[in-house]
Amino acid sequence: MDRTGGLLNVVDVEATCWEGTPPPGAVSEIIEIGLTVVDLERGVRRARHRLLVRPARSTVSAFCTELTGLTQDEVDQGIDFADACRELAARHHAGERPWASWGDYDRHQFTRQCAAADTRYPFGHRHTNAKAVFTAAHGLRKRPGMAQALRIAGLPLEGRHHRGEDDAWNIAALVLRLAGRGAWPDVP
């Protein structure tokens, strides 16, 4: 397949969010990074990981807790964003392996937050928008959310939706279904 041995990192992030406008001075920051390692050659999800990230310029709102289940007390136990990026690069080979996310939000959030925190971007340039691949493979006109895509594919939603670790695991199942149909692109 490629020099990474057919391994793909599937990433999903959760970030601070609010119902309506953020409080003054607050910005959306990553609070959880879910990562599932997919072995495309063997057609299996090999490992799942979760990094809790302590926000520096925002807090977890009641709306965010309702959506994700994450609390301020929980993310306060996390690591800072720069350490999370270093761990992604060192432990999860983020700069070497191709990676995928459901849509482009996760990639853009990392780009914005790395620039704001003056932190090195942990990923390489080989990113695949799994939502776009799924939409094209199924001949859909509108890009579905992850939960809807699982229903279309006949796959169960495992865990809690809007939880990074669980969403990465579910997106990985969709990637493997696409790969099994020959619809997942080879990443140079």
Residue by residue, DSSP assigns the chain as --TTTTEEEEEEEEE---SSSPPTT----EEEEEEEEEETTTTEEEEEEEEEB--SS----HHHHHHH---HHHHHTSB-HHHHHHHHHHHS-TTTS-EEESSSHHHHHHHHHHHHHT----S-S-EEEHHHHHHHHTT-SSPPPHHHHHHHHT----S-TT-HHHHHHHHHHHHHHHHHTT-SPPP-
For residue 5, name the pLDDT band (cuts at 50, 70, 90): confident
Average pLDDT in the 123-149 region? 97
Quick one: pLDDT at residue 4?
62
Please write the tens of the pLDDT for every residue from 167-176: 999 999 999 9
pLDDT exceeds cutoff 60 at 3: no
Residues 152-165, mean pLDDT to the nearest whole number = 98
The class of domain 7-180 in CATH terms is alpha beta
Say whether pLDDT at 188 is over 70.
no
Q: What is the pLDDT of residues 60-119, one digit of tens each?
A: 999 999 999 999 999 999 999 999 999 999 999 999 999 999 999 999 999 999 999 999
